[in-house]
Chains A and B, each alone.
Chain A
Amino acid sequence: MTDTVVLDPYRNVPRARRQLWAHALRAEWIKFRSVRSTTWSTIALFVLGAGLTTLVCATSAAWLASGRADESVASFLTWGMMFAQVGAIVLGTLAVTSEYGTGTIRATLAATPRRGAVLAAKAVVLAGTLFGVGTVTAVAGYLGGNAFLDAEGIGVPVTHEGVLRALVGSGLYLAGLGLLAAGVGLLVRHTAAALSIVLALVFVVGNMVMLLPGAWGEWTTKLMPGNAGSGVAQVEPFNPLLLDPWTGFAVFSAEVAAVLVAGWLAFTRRDA
């Protein structure tokens, strides 16, 4: 047999020797950018969010200015973000389930076996991107929509109470939604299943519980993640029965955190 030579595992690969969390973060960022599904979902999020806000303001401006409207003008300024939620949920789900669906998760964890590091990197890339894209989308929608309102003389200045909060809040809310979807993805590991669960939770169950009778119905409605979290993204609430923006967002954040912790437990304990 051949002589055994002792190999220095670092001989051909200079530079950093220890795997750092920053490496995992960088890897997740390249991963996020290097598939078309994320690019398209991000574009869809922006177009829906900014475009629909602009569109609804353009078509409603005259009616709102006529004085016959029974709706507050300001609540229209982030109207399209209702639809941008779908984009955030898709991005959050795919960040996790596409790895399971394609088997990439095994390559990922073979390269970065510390699963906590992988999950933290994923969460930061996802939340960071959604916060940025969500805020930019909301700002674009506000500028586009408000231009039409201004033309009718009912524009809402950015200094108006709640406008800045709603713009930044849109980014925060979408980031939270993405993390919620990612957490569910870690639990079910299947794109269609995770998407159905989160979309149903936010868009269907959140409205159905309003039909429950009495205080029971009132409180489950207030506490459903979509209802609790979306207030922070609206200049003035569509539904005045819901929690205050920041109270609601605190409840929503706690819910997201709970799902993420459950997902993290599953991720670190189950076989890949």
Chain B
Amino acid sequence: MIVAHDLTKTFSGKAAVDRVDFTVEPGRVTGFLGPNGAGKSTTMRMVLGLDRPTSGSVTVNGHRYVDSPAPLREVGALLEARAVHPGRRARDHLRVLAASNGIRVSRVDEVLELVGLTAVAGQRVGRFSLGMGQRLGIAAALLGDPPVVVLDEPVNGLDPEGIRWVRHLARDLAREGRTVFVSSHLMSEMALTADHLLVIGRGRVLADCPMSQFVADHAASYVRVRSPRRADVADVLRAAGLDVIRHGDELRVCGLDTAGVGDLVGRNGLPLHELTLVSPSLEDAFMTLTSSSVEYAAHRQAAGVTP
């Protein structure tokens, strides 16, 4: 379990992470979603004690990570930027990390096998592709068989097969009861992997809810209705207890399918020009959510200028 409380990080006066509160629970994949520069990597670095919070705190299993008695057996992490000496052999890199936590060396071969790098374990990491580097990072994260796994943009640079592999790995780890915290800037990726979503924009938490609820709240389908007698149609639908929103020259109706809406309007003898079921993509929902946070921030700053 990872708990952040009022977590803040500023870089030269600018807040990269801004008074964030969240809890990452075990037994599920928590997707940490946000556009580039939202503060995901900074947050994860603070979880690992690499960056010191400007204020607030973040704990793993109830204590600061720095105070962990056996760090790699508690948290395994894949960091965003490559964190390996290019002149070191992959196996030696893992041997160093294993030794630093008193983990037996046979575990190194196990994780190499697990991520499919056994054949290239003796190669220097500088010759690795981005995808192989990611796999090595994941191997390092799994060395201590940790109950908490933190993966920063794990699918970056992976081919489709690798992406599927990471997705399954994350889900398997969560099914075993581990805390799995995975960041991404791609909603489509999170939609397939995460049980729970933590959306961040400009350093602030925009949503913290189960994936299914995010879909219901932000990507609920509706029926688009166009009619030359829009106002009358809206009255009829509202009278039937439906949610109707005017959006330009169209109406958006929630709570009934196209057949139901068409029947209702037809029974009242009103003309219809369009009747379409619209299911917004999650990507759109995510874009809308995060772009509004950008706007909001811009407004606040503008407001702050006038005394």
In the complex, A211 has a CB within 8 A of chain B? no
Residues of A within 8 A of B72 (CB): 111
Q: Which residues of B contact A19 (CB under 8 A)?
A: 68-71, 100-102
- Tell which of A12, A98, A107, A272 has the most Cβ of chain B within 10 Å: A107
Give the distance in Å from the alpha carbon of A106 to the alpha carbon of B146 in the complex.
Answer: 18
Q: Are A23 and B102 in contact (CB under 8 A)?
A: yes
A27 to chain B: closest residue by CB: B100
Residues 254 to 272 of chain A near chain B (Cβ within 8 Å): 269, 271-272
A160 part of interface (Cβ distance < 8 Å): no
Distance A170 CA – B196 CA, assembled complex (angstroms): 61
Residues on A close to B: CB < 8 A? 1-7, 9-20, 23-24, 26-27, 30-31, 34-37, 98-99, 102-114, 269, 271-272
B34 to A: closest C-beta gap in Å: 20
Q: How far is the CB of A155 from chain B (nearest CB, A)?
A: 43
Binds A, one of B76-84, B227-235, B251-259, B273-281: B76-84
The reply on B99 being an interface residue by CB < 8 A is yes
| Residue in B closest to A101 when the chains form the complex, CB atoms | B85
Whether A112 contacts B100 by the Cβ 8 Å rule is yes
Is there an interface contact between A272 and B177, defined as CB atoms closer than 8 Å?
no
With A5-B177, A6-B177, A12-B145 known, 13 other A-B pairs at CB within 8 A are: A4-B27, A10-B70, A13-B104, A19-B71, A31-B88, A35-B85, A102-B86, A106-B83, A107-B79, A113-B48, A113-B68, A271-B50, A272-B45
Q: Would A30 and B104 count as touching, CB distance under 8 A?
A: no
Query: Could you say which of B50, B79, B96 contacts A30, with CB atoms under 8 Å apart?
Result: B96
Chain B interface residues (CB < 8 Å from chain A): 26-28, 45, 48-52, 65-66, 68-75, 77, 79, 81-89, 92-93, 95-97, 99-104, 107, 140, 144-147, 174-178, 195
Taking a contact as CB atoms under 8 Å apart, the answer to whether B99 and A4 are in contact is no
Contacts of B71 in A (CB 8 A): 19, 110-113
Neighbouring A residues of B103 by C-beta, 8 Å: 13, 15
A104: nearest chain-B partner, CB-CB: B85
Contact, CB under 8 Å: B77 / A9: no
Residues of A within 8 A of B93 (CB): 34, 107
On chain A, the residues within 8 Å of B66 by CB distance are 113-114
B4 → A minimal CB distance (Å):
17
Looking at chain B's contact residues, is the secondary structure mostly helix, strand, loop, or mixed? loop
Q: Are A7 and B178 also in contact (CB < 8 A) when A13-B73, A14-B104, A19-B102 are?
A: yes
Q: B69–A23 contact, CB under 8 A? A: no
* B175 contacts across to A, CB distance below 8 A: 2
A35 proximity list for chain B (CB < 8 A): 85, 87-88
**Structural contact, A27 and B69, CB atoms closer than 8 A:** no
Q: State in angstroms the CA–CA spacing of A9 and B96 once bound together.
A: 20
The complex places the Cα of A207 from the Cα of B95 at a distance, in Å, of 44
In the complex, residue of chain B having the shortest beta-carbon distance to the beta carbon of A6: B177
Q: Report 9 cross-chain contacts, Cβ distance below 8 Å, ordered by A residue.
A: A3-B27, A16-B102, A19-B68, A23-B99, A30-B92, A34-B95, A106-B83, A110-B48, A111-B100
**Closest residue of chain B to A37, judged by CB?**
B87
**Residues of B contacting A27 in the complex (Cβ-Cβ under 8 angstroms):** 96-97, 99-100
Q: Are A110 and B77 in contact (CB under 8 A)?
A: yes
Q: A23-B102, A110-B77, A112-B100 are in contact. Are A103 and B84 (CB under 8 A)?
A: yes
- Rounded to whole angstroms, the CA-CA distance of A82 and B37 in the bound complex is 50
A114 to B28, CA, bound (A): 29
A5 touches B68 (CB 8 A): no
Kindly provide the distance from the CB of A167 to the nearest chain B CB, expressed in whole angstroms.
Answer: 33
Contact A18 B69 (CB under 8 A): yes
CA distance A11 to B102 in the complex (A): 14
- Contact A34 B92, CB 8 Å, known A7-B176, A107-B79: yes
**Structural contact, A106 and B50, CB atoms closer than 8 A:** yes
Complex-state Cα separation, A271 to B52, whole angstroms: 6
CB-defined contacts of A104 to chain B, threshold 8 Å: 83-85
- CA separation between A272 and B144, bound complex, in Å? 22
Complex A-B, nearest 8 residue pairs according to Cβ-Cβ distance, in ascending order: A4-B27, A27-B100, A16-B102, A5-B177, A34-B92, A107-B83, A7-B147, A12-B145
- The residue in chain B whose Cβ has the minimal distance to the Cβ of A118 is B100
Cβ contact of B195, chosen from A1, A9, A107, A114, cutoff 8 A = A1
With both chains docked as a complex, state the minimum distance between the C-beta of B196 and any C-beta of chain A, in angstroms: 9
Across-interface contacts of A36 in B (CB, < 8 A): 87
Cross-chain contact of A111 among B52, B87, B101 (Cβ < 8 A):
B101
B70 with A4: CB separation less than 8 A:
no
Q: Please give, as numbers and ranges, the residues of chain A lying within 8 Å of B89 by CB-CB distance.
A: 34
Q: Is the CB of B102 within 8 A of A272?
A: no
Provide the residues of chain B in CB contact with A26, threshold 8 Å: 99-100
| A9 x B48 contact (CB < 8 A) | no
Q: How far is the CA of A104 from the CA of B136 in the complex (A)?
A: 13
Contacts of A20 in B (CB 8 A): 102
Nearest opposing residue in chain A for B210, CB measure: A1
